[in-house]
Chains A and B, each alone.
Chain A
Amino acid sequence: MGLACAVSAQAEETIRIGIPVGLSGANSVVAPSVVQASELAVDQINAKGGVLGRRLELVIADDGSGAQGAQRAYDSLVFQQKVDAIVAMETSAARNAGLPIVNRGKVPLIYTSFYEGRSCSPWMHINAWVPEQQVAPIVDQFMDEMGAKKFFLIGSDYAFGRGMLEFTREYVESKGGTVVGEEYLPMDGSDWTAIISQMRSASPDALITSTAGGAPNVTLTKQLRATGVDIPYGNYAIDEGTAATMGTDAEGIYIAASYITGIDSAANKAFLEALNAKFGAKAETPSELSVPQYEGILAYAAAVEKAGSTDAEKVVEALGEVTVDGPRGSITMNKQRHSPLTMYLGRVAADGSVEVIKSFPDVDPGEQCPQLAG
């Protein structure tokens, strides 16, 4: 009996953060880097004495990268584990399945994956990019610097792929350009022959693709290169790791990102060193998905500090006010629950590394959740 009391007293002292993440399924390739980023953030905070004198503790749950798994993961985190907050890098399908549970359980949620935009909940903040922030750097580069007028868009047939390209089409047209073709292939499709031939006969000045990450992106890029396509090529789905292994096929691809490992700042250097010190040879390359996760946990810790408690409503209010100085720069989630971000336009070099061509400081996320102003 005495032992049980001691255990529960100690359990109350730690602040528990739920991490639903796709350990299996489509996200399983990036999940290890997300878990490492979370562990690093918690270690660093605990090394400084925790928050309000309490230690942070992670509760990791597999969401299976999809809706069904996310329901189980959120149910378990919110109602069984009774976590104090959730910091989630996951697919849009998983987020949409988890949100009603978060709303019912009234738990602060920080969503740390880029997504198609306009997902709103009184309990959710988002510190990653939405189309408004991602599309402009690439399209502006192609139209203003390289004189492109006619665009061809290719994507995978799912919410994110279509959402990104629809936004791109509107943006290109609003700048006086034209979209001469917009084609999609199912997510498991691997034969892009007909689409590539259509694109070549439409003879566009520039190409922008928004496929699912991994295999579809690689098959499309390889088949494009095999047919000798060498117009300006912007890719929304490629990450640095894939670019590095793809070799010469990736050369010349333009990407826009809020995080590139080559960001030249003291905070980024310190982050990379800490990651390597903690995980050594097992350290995963940090990316646009794992770094916001790291910063999301720092943001939660700062918000608890500011609110003076883990009370959900007070923390949610504080989350929109605190600023995190992380690897991506100073970030505050103060624009209708979204964050103005510094976006980097990069180009893949011959050796697979990403050179930063330009940076666009504090790009505004636009109107995302007008009902949740502030």
Chain B
Amino acid sequence: MAILVLDILTTAAILFAVSAGLLIILGVMKLINFAHGAFLTVGGYMAYLNGAAGLSPWLSIPLAAGVGFLGGLVIERVIVRPLYDRPLDAILATWGLGIVIGQLITLGFGRGVQFAPNPISGTTELFGVDYSAYRLAVAVIAVLLVVALSALLKLTRFGLNARAVIMNERLARGLGIDSTRVRALTFGLGAALACAAGALITPLISVDPNMGLPWLVNSFMLVMVAGVSFPSLLVASLILGGAQVVVSTYANPILGGMTIVVAAALVLRISPKGFSRA
């Protein structure tokens, strides 16, 4: 039982970390970033390069975040900004971008599987069971991330501007908020979060050109259910991630793989706003 609870908590933490970057971009920019999976992959390769350079594995997460932020700013300026008036085209453009990034990675590193060193290996004892130390660390990091992101939105000037843009972009602009700058910073932040999450999950999965893809669908469903709020994304991750673990454990892991998608569709059918107003 303790194992089941820990599985649910750590699965939710991983899902939250992986989805956060998608959520902030959708919230502020009304843009579904289909390059999110590719950003995760880039983060994984940053962890690989970091390991190959012999640096501490912990450095891979800030390194990936930095690369993601700068890359995000450039991508926003070059690809996303010219398409602000054509939201559907912008979504297609991010899809294409994801394919291009995937192919560039394949060209640079090949199709094979790469490896990055683990920051922590082995298990620690908690509630009387030995549990993966790294998964517990990810859970702690996810909680810190919720606090930090909520603080960023609630306590900073950027957060205030971003919330204004989320609520009513035209009005915000009328009040003198530079919404273009808010959008640019948001895309950079979203890309940074995605890359950092890619580096964060690397010790649990393999680094290959398609590593981000399976996570894209689940994060998309979670963000749809969560609406634009980090606490409700955490709730969505706990409930849907928990459902996935329970189905995988008691029914069948193959059904478990579909649980998040099916459950999210059901939630949206019953309550079109998902958990955001619940």
- B224 at the A/B interface (Cβ < 8 Å)? no
- A12 at the A/B interface (Cβ < 8 Å)? no
Please indicate the chain B residues that have their CB under 8 angstroms from the CB of A198 in the complex.
249
Instruction: Determine whether the beta carbon of A214 is less than 8 Å from that of B257.
Output: no
Instruction: Determine whether the beta carbon of A226 is less than 8 Å from that of B134.
Output: yes
- B154 at the A/B interface (Cβ < 8 Å)? no
Instruction: Determine whether the beta carbon of B248 is less than 8 Å from that of A195.
Output: yes
A278→B206 CA distance, assembly (Å): 32
Instruction: Determine whether the beta carbon of A28 is less than 8 Å from that of B111.
Output: yes
Q: How large is the interface on B (under 10, 10 to 19, 20 to 34, 35 or more residues)?
A: 35 or more
Among candidates A188, A200, A223, residue contacting B214 with C-beta atoms closer than 8 Å: A188
A173-192 toward B: CB 8 Å interface, digit per residue (1/0)? 00000000001111011111
Instruction: Determine whether the beta carbon of B249 is less than 8 Å from that of A247.
Output: no
Instruction: Determine whether the beta carbon of B113 is less than 8 Å from that of A228.
Output: no
Give B126 Cβ to nearest chain A Cβ, in Å: 12
Q: A29-B112, A214-B206, A219-B204 are in contact. Are A194 and B254 (CB under 8 A)?
A: no
A219→B249 CA distance, assembly (Å): 18
Q: In residues 188-233 of chain A, which contact B (Cβ within 8 Å)?
A: 188-195, 197-198, 200-201, 214-215, 218-219, 222-223, 225-228
- A272 at the A/B interface (Cβ < 8 Å)? no
A193→B4 CA distance, assembly (Å): 10
Please indicate the chain A residues that have their CB under 8 angstroms from the CB of B229 in the complex.
none
Instruction: Determine whether the beta carbon of A186 is less than 8 Å from that of B257.
Output: yes
Give chain A's interface secondary structure class.
helix
Give B4 Cβ to nearest chain A Cβ, in Å: 7
Please indicate the chain A residues that have their CB under 8 angstroms from the CB of B158 in the complex.
none
Q: In residues 146-171 of chain A, which contact B (Cβ within 8 Å)?
A: 157
- A276 at the A/B interface (Cβ < 8 Å)? no
- B210 at the A/B interface (Cβ < 8 Å)? yes
For B209, the closest partner residue in chain A by CB is A215
Among candidates B115, B121, B214, B257, residue contacting A245 with C-beta atoms closer than 8 Å: B115
Give B131 Cβ to nearest chain A Cβ, in Å: 7
Among candidates B114, B211, B253, residue contacting A189 with C-beta atoms closer than 8 Å: B253
For A200, the closest partner residue in chain B by CB is B3
Please indicate the chain B residues that have their CB under 8 angstroms from the CB of A197 in the complex.
3-4, 7, 249
Instruction: Determine whether the beta carbon of A193 is less than 8 Å from that of B11.
Output: yes
Among candidates B7, B115, B118, B211, residue contacting A193 with C-beta atoms closer than 8 Å: B7
- B57 at the A/B interface (Cβ < 8 Å)? no
In the complex, given contacts A193-B248, A223-B132, what are 14 additional A-B residue pairs having Cβ atoms less than 8 angstroms apart?
A29-B112, A185-B253, A186-B257, A188-B214, A197-B3, A197-B249, A214-B112, A215-B211, A223-B204, A225-B121, A226-B122, A226-B123, A226-B203, A247-B115
Residues of chain A at the chain B interface (Cβ within 8 Å): 28-29, 157, 183-186, 188-195, 197-198, 200-201, 214-215, 218-219, 222-223, 225-228, 242, 245-248
Would you give 15 A-B contacts (Cβ < 8 Å), ordered by A? A157-B254, A185-B253, A190-B205, A193-B245, A197-B3, A197-B4, A201-B3, A215-B210, A218-B115, A219-B205, A222-B203, A222-B205, A226-B204, A245-B115, A246-B115
